[in-house]
Amino acid sequence: MYDDLFIGGRWRKPATSERISVISPHTEEPIGEVPHASPADVDRAVQAARAAFDEGPWPRLDVDERIAAVERLAALYAEHTDEMADLITAEMGSPRSFSRMGQATGAVAQMYLNIDLARDFPWVERRLGLFGDAHIRRAPVGVVAAIVPWNVPQFLIMPKLIPALLAGCTVVVKPAPETPIDAMWLAEMLDEIGLPEGVVSILPGGRETGEALVRHPGVDKVAFTGSSATGQRIAAICGEQLKRVSLELGGKSAAIILDDADIDHTVEQLRTASLMNNGQACVAQTRILVSPRRHDDVVDGLATMMSGLNVGDPADETTDIGPLVSQRQQQRVLGYIRSGVEEGARIVVGGTDSPRDRGWYVRPTLFADATNKMTIAREEIFGPVLTVLTYHDEDDAVRIANDSDYGLAGSVWTADTAHGLQIAARIRTGTYGVNMYTLDTTMPFGGFKKSGIGREFGVEGLSEYVELQTTICAEPLS
Ligand code: NAD
């Protein structure tokens, strides 16, 4: 239970009495409450961030001092990863096994990776230009608004907050209303490590809070992860104001299973690659492409794997699939399953009946006899629902994989890795896997097409928080 908001690095009374109640997706009972940040709170936070950036010490510190602050945060956070994983599981239903690695531990790992990057980053570079000595400085981009969704909340705050802080930016974080408590706990840790006033604010709230932040004239850059629809709206506002913006958006990724693939291995890998986090993953491999020759083997393998998944309490270590984040999300996913049936696809396993008496559960559902024109193949479902599509030959497989508004991830499954790499080069997507799909936080990650603009992770992720400034000197520096 929190009464105050973390505004400008200090706990302050919110401007209104509005609150967010977080409901457990497993029990449907309230598990905690936080204040709901209003546009007035956004204004206070941005003004504090603006003052801290324009006049405060943070952007002017030596980078080693900022690294030391992030090291303090990482060390403190690392002591609490298990509790953080438990909290995220309680808030949004991510299975405990996924929460530990994919949510909390992944958040700490990103801090240390960014610290290493910041040590070697060319903050100031000297080059010989047309007129002599030139200095390229990578200056902090300014006041950053970081807006994140609920599906991997801490894992998505980190690739914005940490590189921004290391670059010398000040940051206002807006977590999703479904997962505000983990963000408030992060605020407690930031308070404990002690940053200069104004450097970080954390403002839980919904669309109105987020949009007030995006529109605020004191914000220099918006870093957003969420749906493509919201991303388009944010990009339009940033376009009007010529604000820097990076967007990590939705996906509808295709796994191409070639005839020479090891089907058992492929199915076992797709258990995670397609269904991690209860299918609530932007990179989920949800369109499974197979030729008629291997079709039945793949459908049978997936059906056996999916009907054997343990659906239940996400806090239980043996659970594979927990509840979806909210009743709204559950109803949305059930609507997609109904649309698949209405448009003529066949349910192999799963369906719309509830697997449990309580909680926002959806049965893991596999569709066959589908086409790439169907809604279930075009739209991001964000639940444990997979669709098998048939291709005639390899060119057709590549065409179907690319026939999507999205371009976030994808994979190919084959006995020939070199050939897999050739397929990868033909797919318009930001990350790709050959006989695996996983996200590597040391490498650039982001989307082609409507999956986004810009990259997170790796040195490219840090570069999103700097502006290049060129200074040409009439005389060389001695
Ligand atoms: P969403 O777009 O509804 O919300 C995301 C965040 O934006 C939330 O904090 C929300 O409160 C805020 N928001 C909503 N409307 C806003 C507005 N007009 N202005 C400013 N902020 C606003 O997305 P969601 O349903 O919470 O999250 C799921 C989506 O996120 C999926 O599409 C998924 O693919 C995507 N996602 C992408 C990545 C990636 O890295 N590409 C990672 C995870 C999730």
State pLDDT tens for residues 303-336: 999 999 999 999 999 999 999 999 999 999 999 9
Parallel, antiparallel or unpaired: strands 253-257 and 285-290: parallel
Within 6 Å (CB) of ligand 1, which residues are found? Answer: 147-151, 156, 174, 176, 206-207, 210-211, 214, 225-227, 230, 233-234, 248-251, 282, 380, 382, 408, 447, 452
Kindly state the DSSP code that residue 214 receives in the 8-state scheme.
H
Residue 438 phi, psi dihedral angles, 5° rounding: -150, 160
Q: What is the mean pLDDT of residues 422-445?
A: 97
What are the domain boundaries of the chain?
A: 5-249+451-472, 254-434
Q: Which atom of ligand 1 is nearest to the CA of 228?
A: 32
Residue 61 one-letter amino acid: L
176 CA to centre of ligand 1 in angstroms? 8
Fold of 5-249+451-472: Aldehyde Dehydrogenase; Chain A, domain 1 (3.40.605)
What was the pLDDT predicted at 476? 78
Least confident of 131-135, 228-232, 369-373: 131-135
Take residue 107 and report the two structure tokens written for it. 């958040």
Q: What is the pLDDT of residues 402-428, one digit of tens each?
A: 999 999 999 999 999 999 999 999 999
Which of these is catalytic: 248, 380, 456, 464? 248
Q: What is the pLDDT of residues 159-217, one digit of tens each?
A: 999 999 999 999 999 999 999 999 999 999 999 999 999 999 999 999 999 999 999 99
C-alpha 255/C-alpha 433 separation (Å) is: 9
Q: Which residue has the tokens 């604000």?
A: 243
| Beta carbons within 10 angstroms of residue 460's beta carbon | 16
C-alpha 203/C-alpha 183 separation (Å) is: 9
Q: What is the mean pLDDT of residues 69-91?
A: 97
Helix, coil or strand: residue 368: strand
Probe ligand 1: pick from 282, 331, 380, 429, max atoms within 8 Å of CB?
A: 282
43 CA to centre of ligand 1 in angstroms? 22
C-alpha 138/C-alpha 163 separation (Å) is: 13
Fold of 254-434: Aldehyde Dehydrogenase; Chain A, domain 2 (3.40.309)
Q: Which atom of ligand 1 is nearest to the CA of 251?
A: 34
Cβ(253)–Cβ(289) under 8 Å?
A: no
Q: Which residues contact 278 (CB under 8 A, 6 or more apart)?
A: 93, 94, 95, 321, 322, 323, 324, 383, 384
Question: 237-251 burial, b for 16+ CB within 10 Å, e for fewer?
Answer: ebeeeebbbbbbbbb
Angle between helix 207-215 and helix 39-54 axes, rounded to 10 deg: 40
Probe ligand 1: pick from 225, 237, 248, max atoms within 8 Å of CB?
A: 225
- Give CA separation, 60 vs 54, 63, 170, in Å: 10, 9, 12
Name beta bridge partners: 453. Answer: 247
What is Dmax (Cα atoms) for the chain?
77
What was the pLDDT predicted at 1? 83
Name beta bridge partners: 389. Answer: 289, 370
Does the annotation count 460 as an active-site position?
A: no
Name beta bridge partners: 172. Answer: 145, 201
**Domain 5-249+451-472 and domain 254-434 have a common topology:** no
**Number of Cα atoms under 13 Å in the Cβ half of residue 305:** 22
Say how many Å lie between the first and final Cα of the chain, rounded. Answer: 59
Probe ligand 1: pick from 160, 230, 238, 246, max atoms within 8 Å of CB?
A: 230
